[in-house]
Amino acid sequence: MLIVIFVVCLIAIFVGAWLYDNWEHEYVGAAMVIISSIIVLFAFVFLIMSICNVAGAYVIDEKIQLYEDANAAIEERINDTVEDYKAYENDTLEKFDGHNGTEVVSLYPELKANELIQEQMEIYYQNQTTILGLKEEKINMKPWRWWLYFGG
């Protein structure tokens, strides 16, 4: 759309210059040149902004895939840690089956993996927020593409 506006205004500038030189009403040609020049200037600035925004959008899919891969790895590590802890817990309960509950509770070690899991979950949630932002940015590119080349 911007390219069409840009080209039409450039043609209007040339027609206005021709009218200014070859018609007895010079002010019509001069007004056409001035107005078209202003529109071309704004269209050119907006065209550059659109090109920059659309050019930056081509890496969004790669960024989303990167964060999704990182989240899949985090999910796998968390699942492995939980499964290992479940196995440890079952072994501990089998060993101390005949003892009273307070002895078993006192023999449980603090789950240090809990801190690791909490850190991994924080990273996971940050990645999810980033993915959401990137997807929103990708959606916001549609109007820029339309203005640039009627893309959707």
Any idea where the domains of the chain sit in the sequence? Answer: 2-57, 59-141
Q: 2 pLDDT exceeds 50?
A: yes
CA geometry: angle at 76 spanning 139 and 136, to 5°?
Answer: 10
Would you state the pLDDT for residue 107?
A: 53
Segments of 42-150 assigned E as strands:
none
pLDDT in tens, 8-52: 888 988 888 888 888 777 788 888 889 988 988 988 888 888 888
Q: How confident is the model at residue 92 (pLDDT cuts 50, 70, 90)?
A: low
Q: Which of 34-38, 116-120, 125-129 has the lowest mean pLDDT?
A: 116-120
Q: How confident is the model at residue 132 (pLDDT cuts 50, 70, 90)?
A: very high
113 vs 79: CA distance, rounded Å: 12
Q: How confident is the model at residue 104 (pLDDT cuts 50, 70, 90)?
A: very low
Token pair listed for 81 = 């840690």
Token pair listed for 118 = 């909490």
pTM over 0.75: no
Residue 145 and residue 2 in contact, taking contact as beta carbons nearer than 8 Å: no
Highest mean pLDDT among 33-42, 85-94, 106-115: 33-42
Q: Which residue has the higher pLDDT, 95 or 128?
A: 128
Residue 151 and residue 145 in contact, taking contact as beta carbons nearer than 8 Å: yes
Half-sphere exposure of 33 (CA within 13 A, CB side): 13
Percent over 70 (pLDDT), the chain: 82
DSSP 59: G
Would you state the pLDDT for residue 28?
A: 83
**What's the first-to-final CA gap in the chain, in angstroms?**
12
